């Protein structure tokens, strides 16, 4: 039997950040509200493109695996904030990492995108169609933010994470997975003024993030815990067998509610929403990478992961880690220097939103 082991992991965290106090200069909010209602203290804002973030994360994942771009058969880029839609952004990543001739495809399942892409790439490796894949999730969610709306403006951030999957005889990688979509509720979370449904000859306003936070919150808790239960049954495991939970980072209270439903102890749960906010598809990819770096993921760990996002897509996965928890080559990808603060990077966008 062939499995798709995770042999490399990497991330790209853009340097400029916006603290809660800084965001309180733009919308009517404060650090106490944001931290207590969401767990977020800061978020990153990127000075480079989604393709650049994805490239840096993918290069570090390749270094970690000790292989090069030319060894890769497939690149799946999970993103709902692509640099370009045609040509797809994955093709730019393919070029940047030197994965000459590899298949390159963007997958958009919003916040569930990384787990969707993991399932798609794993299935191809396990079917013997390909040997090695890079699954990368990269987002510039701050590009979408309407800085006049305090409920959503405080939530999102930019960043990228990536893994390398390689064919292996060892039972490891994504061993059970369930992905789905509850489309009836798709309007409670969407980006308006974006896409080919628009009449491109009519003047249209800027794209705008529309959402019903409280409704999404309820559905996220229910959807993710149900999906986790299904995956445990599929894998014939009990919750006691799970060593680490790597949940989508949308709101600390959503994570805690799932944790409570599943009865998982605090020390088993990977949380980094305080530093980055919600980076959509990238949250789980970044959190997975940091969970290995900080020693939460140990050799042969059983990892449960769950996500929820626009669509309303949902996903849960059981991942078995391999033996190695240290990179073969240290991460060394760099971004061009950033000479602006987070507030300076969003200044023009803030001006437009406030003028509306
Ligand atoms: C958005 C979210 C943080 C709001 O938290 P909440 O506890 O549900 O808060 P509510 O929406 O009930 O609002 C409570 C009050 O806080 C106010 N409020 C909303 N945003 C605020 C902010 N940034 N600062 C201060 N007050 C705020 C509301 O206006 C409301 O005031 P009111 O009671 O006077 O009407 C939460 O619902 C959430 O995280 N939802 C899911 C997020 C999501 O969709 N992520 C993307 C997909 S995964």
- Encode pLDDT of 124-180 as tens digits: 999 999 999 999 999 999 999 999 999 999 999 999 999 999 999 999 999 999 999
Residue to mutate (ligand 1; options 217, 255, 273; most atoms within 8 A of CB): 217
* CA 320 – ligand 1 centroid, Å: 36
What ranges do the domains of the chain cover? 1-356
Residue to mutate (ligand 1; options 211, 214, 284; most atoms within 8 A of CB): 214
* CA 151 – ligand 1 centroid, Å: 5
Tell me the pLDDT band of 52, cut-offs 50, 70 and 90: very high
* CA 155 – ligand 1 centroid, Å: 10
* CA 214 – ligand 1 centroid, Å: 7
Percent of the chain residues topping a pLDDT of 70: 100
pLDDT at position 241 = 96
Mean pLDDT of 10-22: 98
**Which token pair is 228?**
């986790």
pLDDT at position 207 = 84
pLDDT at position 203 = 79
The residue whose CA is least distant from atom 28 of ligand 1 is 151
pLDDT at position 185 = 87
**353 is a catalytic site residue:** no
Residue 274 has pLDDT above 80, yes or no: yes
**Spatial CB neighbours of 233, under 8 Å, sequence gap ≥ 6:** none
pLDDT at position 57 = 98
Return the SS3 of 133: strand
Mean pLDDT of 312-318: 97
The catalytic residue among 88, 278, 289, 353 is 278
Separation between Cα atoms, residue 64 and residue 11, nearest integer Å: 11
Tell me the pLDDT band of 353, cut-offs 50, 70 and 90: confident
* CA 154 – ligand 1 centroid, Å: 10
The catalytic residue among 111, 181, 228, 289 is 111
- Sign for the CA dihedral angle at 8, 120, 309, 198 comes to positive
Question: C-alpha distances in angstroms, 327 versus 64, 66, 185, 245, 272?
Answer: 4, 8, 42, 22, 21
Hey, what CATH class is 1-356 in? alpha beta
**111 is a catalytic site residue:** yes
**243 is a catalytic site residue:** no
pLDDT at position 326 = 98
pLDDT at position 160 = 98
Complete edge-to-edge strand list for the sheet that includes strand 3-12? 103-107, 74-78, 132-140, 158-168, 3-12, 173-181, 313-320, 302-309, 244-247
Residue 356 has pLDDT above 70, yes or no: no
- pLDDT tens, residue by residue, 55-106: 999 999 999 999 999 999 999 999 999 999 999 999 999 999 999 999 999 9
Q: Ligand 1 pocket: which residues have CB below 6 Å?
A: 29, 33-34, 37-38, 111, 150-151, 154-155, 189, 211, 213-214, 216-217, 220, 250-251, 278, 308-309
- pLDDT tens, residue by residue, 186-239: 999 999 999 999 988 987 888 888 989 999 999 999 999 999 999 999 999 999
The catalytic residue among 12, 64, 108, 248 is 248
Looking at the CA of residue 153, tell me the nearest atom of ligand 1.
23
Residue 355 has pLDDT above 80, yes or no: no
Helix, strand, coil % over all residues of the chain, rounded to 5: 40, 25, 35
Looking at the CA of residue 27, tell me the nearest atom of ligand 1.
23
Separation between Cα atoms, residue 102 and residue 77, nearest integer Å: 13
The residue whose CA is least distant from atom 48 of ligand 1 is 309
- pLDDT tens, residue by residue, 132-147: 999 999 999 999 999 9
Tell me the pLDDT band of 322, cut-offs 50, 70 and 90: very high
Separation between Cα atoms, residue 68 and residue 65, nearest integer Å: 9
């Amino acid at each position: 039997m062939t499995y798709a082991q995770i042999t490399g992991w990497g991330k790209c965290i853009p340097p400029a950040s916006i603290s809660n106090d800084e965001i309180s200069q733009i919308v009517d909010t404060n650090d106490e509200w944001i931290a207590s209602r969401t767990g977020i203290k800061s978020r990153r804002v990127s000075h480079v493109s989604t393709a650049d973030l994805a490239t840096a994360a993918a290069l570090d994942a390749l270094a970690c695996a000790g292989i090069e771009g030319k060894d890769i058969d497939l690149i799946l880029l999970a993103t709902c904030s692509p640099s370009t839609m045609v040509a797809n952004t994955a093709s730019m990543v393919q070029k940047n990492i030197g994965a000459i001739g590899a298949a390159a495809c963007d997958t958009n399942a919003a916040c569930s995108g990384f787990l969707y892409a993991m399932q798609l790439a794993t299935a191809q490796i396990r079917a013997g169609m390909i040997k090695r894949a890079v699954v990368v999730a990269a987002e510039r969610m701050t590009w979408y933010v309407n800085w006049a709306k305090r409920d959503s403006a405080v939530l999102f951030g930019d960043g990228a994470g990536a893994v390398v999957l390689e064919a292996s005889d060892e039972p490891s990688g994504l061993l059970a997975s369930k992905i789905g979509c509850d489309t009836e509720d798709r309007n409670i979370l969407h980006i308006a003024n974006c896409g080919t449904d628009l009449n491109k000859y009519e003047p249209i306003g800027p794209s705008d993030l529309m959402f019903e936070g409280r409704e999404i919150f309820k559905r996220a808790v229910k959807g993710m815990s149900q999906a986790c239960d299904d995956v445990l049954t599929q894998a014939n495991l009990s919750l006691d067998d799970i060593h680490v939970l790597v949940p989508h980072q949308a709101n600390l209270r959503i994570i805690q509610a799932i944790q409570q439903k599943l009865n998982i102890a605090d020390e088993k749960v990977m949380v980094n929403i305080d530093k980055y906010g919600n980076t959509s598809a990238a949250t789980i990819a970044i959190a997975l990478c940091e969970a290995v770096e900080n020693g939460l993921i140990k050799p042969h760990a059983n990892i449960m992961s769950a996500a929820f996002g626009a669509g309303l897509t949902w996903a849960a996965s059981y991942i078995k880690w391999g033996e190695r928890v240290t990179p073969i080559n240290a991460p060394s990808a760099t971004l061009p220097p950033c000479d602006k603060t987070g507030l300076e990077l969003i200044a023009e966008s803030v001006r437009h939103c406030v003028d509306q």
